[in-house]
Amino acid sequence: MMAIRELKVCLLGDTGVGKSSIVCRFVQDHFDHNISPTIGASFMTKTVPCGNELHKFLIWDTAGQERFHSLAPMYYRGSAAAVIVYDITKQDSFHTLKKWVKELKEHGPENIVMAIAGNKCDLSDIREVPMKDAKEYAESIGAIVVETSAKNAVNIEELFQGISRQIPPLDPHENGNNGAIKLGKQTSQTGRRCC
Amino acid sequence: MKKGLKSGVCSLTTPGNLVESNPNSNSNNGASAKEKDVISSSGELENVQLKPSRDASRKKLCGYLNKLGIKGPIKTWKSRWFFYDENKCNLLYYRTAQDINPLGSIDLSSASFDCKVENGEGVFEIRTPSRVFTLKAISNQAMMYWLQQLQMRRWEFLHSPVDQGRAQAGCGVDNEDFLPLVKTPTEAVGLKAASLPAPQTSTALQNISLKHPWTEIQNTVHNICGSKQLWGNNGNVFTFSEFQEHPENPDEEQEAEVEAGCGGRMDSRLNWVRKARWMNSGFPGLPEELSRERNPMDKVSVLQQQILTLTEEVKSQKELVKLLHKALEAAQQEKRVSSMYLTAAEDKDRLELVRHKVRQIADLSSRLEALEQEKKELEQILTLRDSHIQELKEHVQLLMEKNHAKQEVIMALTEQMAREQSDPLQEANTITVETLYKQQEEIEHLKDDIEAYKTQNQFLNSEIHQVTRLWTNVAENEKALLMKCACLQAQSCQMESKYLTVLRKLQEAVPGLPSSHAELVRNLIQEALQWDVKEKAEEGFNLNPVSEYDEYGFMTVPEYEVEDWKLLAKIQALEIKSNNLRSQEVVEKPLRDRWNSIGELSPSVELKSLIRSGIPVEHRQRVWRWIVSRHCSHQPDHYQRLLQQSKSTEHPACRQIELDLPRTLTNNKHFSSPTSQLIPKLRRVLLAFSWHNPAIGYCQGLNRLAAIALLVLEDEESAFWCLVHIVENLMPADYYSDTLITSQVDQRVFRDFLSEKLPRLMAHFEHYRIDVSLITFNWFLVVFVDSLVSDILLRVWDAFLYEGTKVIFRYALAIFKYNEEEILRIHDSVEIYQYLRFFTRMIMDGRKLMSIAFNDLNPFPMKLLKNRRSMHREELEAELCELEQIKAAYVKERAEQGPQNLKEAVSEEEEEI
């Protein structure tokens, strides 16, 4: 039987860019135009196979409004990965994305895998953020970048598969829980600091 | 008729002693004044004899009765003399009392008596085996007398050989049992009646019995003969006393008279006939009267009268004698003159005499003439006087007539006046008299009606009684059935929810099941989830266990795309329904009654407890308005001004508001549609609020609060003020402002309360590194909207709006306590988070939750909450301050060291802290 690795993933990004929709599409393979705005955070899980492992994503979806940023450390602490979402039709959301990257760099866990998702690629007609800008920025910070559409289920699976690939494989000398323990340790540390 | 008889009987019974003065019978008999005396004296005699004694039976029973003829085409009443023959017990009847041969006899020994009141007064019947005799007495009283006497005689006859005294007594007793003995109607019965004329006015011819012609002739002959004798006897004054000595034996007397008349006294006949004739002319009817008189006083008076008459006769005889004397004297003088003339010798003398005579004659002639003259004059005067008298008479007549006329006028006027004076009374009297009978009749009818109505009323009353009982039974049955129905529904819901739970468990086990089983489970789940739709389509009435939307438009089963959630939601909906159905009668109804009895709202302990129990849907809006208006001093134009402001200037929060509007309460039908009326209202409320409170502007979550307010209050201005009330009055300051600092403080406070109230659970959470604030943060920020099902949510809100944030703490703790055991069974952090994600939706029993929140968690002092809040706020502010300092230091350091050391520095800092 394959080993299950629990990976904490948090979704960050400006309000209304589609964080919850991406999670909904990924976990439930469902899209709702008017999914309720996330207050605080919401939690979902999904298990996907990756190589000889099963990655169980523990996804923390956060609220996008700026005044909820102060809560973000609760969610991103101890995270193995962060999905930072922007709306390709809104330049502002790309700016917000940069802020989040900066915060993660400053206060986020060490070695956190960052994935940039340019959502609403189905609306490329009214695109404000060129693909090129996103790619360049992603390269500069060493992040995965992908344009997605939660509505049309474009690149959602790929996004998480990319994250899975970025997660370093387990140290052969340690058992499968090691990563989780390590993450847990970090969590407690950041917790003390931020909250 | 019956009444008449009864009253007659009554009058018979009332006079206790019939012997004494009897004005009734006296006035009834109509006899002449003279006879009255006789009757009263003889009546006493007879009444004494009425005593049941042998003397009474000795008394002869006889009298006149009318007998109805049975033969012939016309039945007529014939007067008959009835006489009871004691020896043979026969009632004999004669045409008159004087007859010797009876016309017929009635055998009483085998007869029965009958009186038919309807036949008329005094009519009774004697029924013998062979014939029915219909007889008529002059009155009912007489009839009763006859009947009683006949009964008595019959009794005596039939019992005479044994013991008459005892029989008599028995008879008396018998009579007393039914009717009192009737006083003898002396005028109609008894021997005395024989001397009276037959009471009937009919002619003698009518009385003649055609049936017994021979007897009739015999009787007639005898009567003629007898009446001659009688007449003769009566005329003889000297035999009167003799006659009086035998009044009770007229027959024997008659016999005797006949013998006497035919025998010794024949020679003196001429004498007394002449005398009698003379006397008859002088005293007509006297002998008859005398013959009847028994009273000596009367006899004397009659004799005195006779004396007077005789004296007068003597006087007139004397005068006659005087006249005759005068005539004799004149004749003697004439004789003397004539003898003188004859004796005169000479012619001269004779001539002288003749001359003298002539002179005398002439003188007489002249005197005659003069007298005639005088007479004529007198006649003339007389005629004059006569005419004068005539005139005077006429005049008198005239005056009389006048007077009469005047009197008539006076009478008329007087009558008129009297009528006018006593008009109403008279009128009433007239009416009474005229309509008395009618009214009595009417009264009778009305009485009948009353009786009928009484019966009817009684019947209807019983009917009403019965129907009411039936109705009560039916109502009770209905109630019981409804209860049963609710119970069954609840059971059904529970069964269904259990079934769904089983399905859910199976679903979880699907990966381990054989493919065919997995397929079956999947199908069953699909089927179960589609039940609602199917049922609605097929039945279309409210027995459907779970309706799609509740009264506020919330979907009872939210549309989760994950089947797992759908199942859970449905299970919960079913459970809630089942709980509600169960508590409907026992809990909800009394609460509803209490709410209905509340008029003016005023803060009180009772109201608090009522509100905690949840406000019924029909009262919620009113109560919420009242709560909001208590805390917000309404400025009338404030909201409108804010709206104007939001129209003219775009608030920075506008973008976020627009973004959130379509995403508000998506499981409520009033908000899920983009064309819904509530969305523009919600926009205006949120924009107005962002202008009203620029420090907060708009915070995600306020949309939900405003939406709930709109759903309940409907009016957007009220919803606005409700939002203001929540944000500015209930929640601590800075709850929704930039850093949400007090919201974060409350999470720490809550953690403290959780440790205090649920230490086991808190230990469990700490063991699995569960940060409950990840879950509970939004409970506090939006007061459970989207966490609790609408039914429970609104109850929480009722209490929250009235009491404040402590209610949120209570309920948040209660939610954990409600599910404590369940959580304690989970031993995996991810599982716990998974569970906490939806466990608010697993709360089925709102009442239980309420009870935990307000009872089990006590004491819950506000002071403690305040203290913890201020303590944690200080802590948090200190931490934030420290963080800022660290940040600032880091930025400074990074600027000095350059980008390559960035990562290391950060990690170092983190480790340090």
Residue A116 CA, chain-centre distance (Å), reads 8
B753: left (phi over 0), alpha (psi -120 to 50) or beta: alpha
Residue B738 touches partner A, C-beta closer than 8 Å: yes
Strands A41-50 and A53-62: antiparallel
What's residue A163's pLDDT? 92
How far away is chain B from the Cα of A43, in angstroms, using its nearest Cα? 7
Q: SS3 breakdown of chain A: % helix, strand, coil, rounded to 5?
A: 45, 25, 30
CB contact under 8 A, B906 and A37: no
A40: left (phi over 0), alpha (psi -120 to 50) or beta: left
What's residue B13's pLDDT? 39
- Residue type for position B563: E
The ipTM, to two decimals, is: 0.84
How far away is chain A from the Cα of B561, in angstroms, using its nearest Cα? 7
What's residue B497's pLDDT? 79
What's residue B183's pLDDT? 62
CA of B661: how far to CAs of B153, B658, B666, B674, B735, in Å? 126, 5, 10, 9, 21
Residue B868 near residue B595 (C-beta atoms within 8 A): no
Residue B316 CA, chain-centre distance (Å), reads 92
Residues of chain B with pLDDT under 50: 1-57, 162-177, 200-204, 227-290, 534-544, 900-913
Two structure tokens written together for B131: 């014939």
Please report, to the nearest 10 degrees, the dihedral formed by the alpha carbons of residues B175, B176, B180, B184 taken in order: 50
CA of A141: how far to CAs of A84, B486, B894, in Å? 12, 64, 17
Task: Check whether A71 has a pLDDT greater than 50.
Answer: yes
Residue B903 touches partner A, C-beta closer than 8 Å: yes
CB contact under 8 A, A36 and B672: no
* Spatial separation of the C-alpha atoms in residues B882 and B124, rounded to whole Å: 140
Please name the member of A42, A67, A191 whose beta carbon is closest to the beta carbon of B699.
A67
Domain A3-166, what fold? Rossmann fold (3.40.50)
Please name the member of B664, B738, B887 whose beta carbon is closest to the beta carbon of A67.
B738
* Cis status of the peptide bond prior to B859, with omega within 30 of 0: yes
Please report, to the nearest 10 degrees, the dihedral formed by the alpha carbons of residues B886, B889, B891, B895 taken in order: -160
Which residues in chain B have their CB less than 8 angstroms from residue A77's CB? none
Please give the model's pTM, rounded to 2 decimal places. 0.55
- Residue type for position A164: S
Which of residues 98 through 157 in chain A touch B, CB cutoff 8 A?
A: 105-107, 110
What's residue B807's pLDDT? 93
Which residues in chain A have their CB less than 8 angstroms from residue B833's CB? 43, 58
Q: Domain residues of chain A, as ranges?
A: 3-166
Please name the member of A37, A187, A191 whose beta carbon is closest to the beta carbon of B700.
A37
Residue B676 touches partner A, C-beta closer than 8 Å: no
Residue B776 near residue B770 (C-beta atoms within 8 A): no
Could you identify the residue written with the tokens 């007394």? B272
Which of residues 553 through 612 in chain B touch A, CB cutoff 8 A?
A: 561-562
CB contact under 8 A, B887 and A58: no
Between B710 and A182, residue with greater pLDDT = B710
Residue B598 near residue B607 (C-beta atoms within 8 A): yes
CB contact under 8 A, B656 and A15: yes
Please name the member of B665, B834, B883 whose beta carbon is closest to the beta carbon of A194.
B883
pLDDT average, residue stretch A95-108? 90
What's residue B341's pLDDT? 76
With CA atoms as reference, the chain B residue closest to A112 would be B903
How far away is chain A from the Cα of B878, in angstroms, using its nearest Cα? 11
Residue A86 touches partner B, C-beta closer than 8 Å: no
- Residue type for position B57: S
Residue A99 near residue A65 (C-beta atoms within 8 A): no
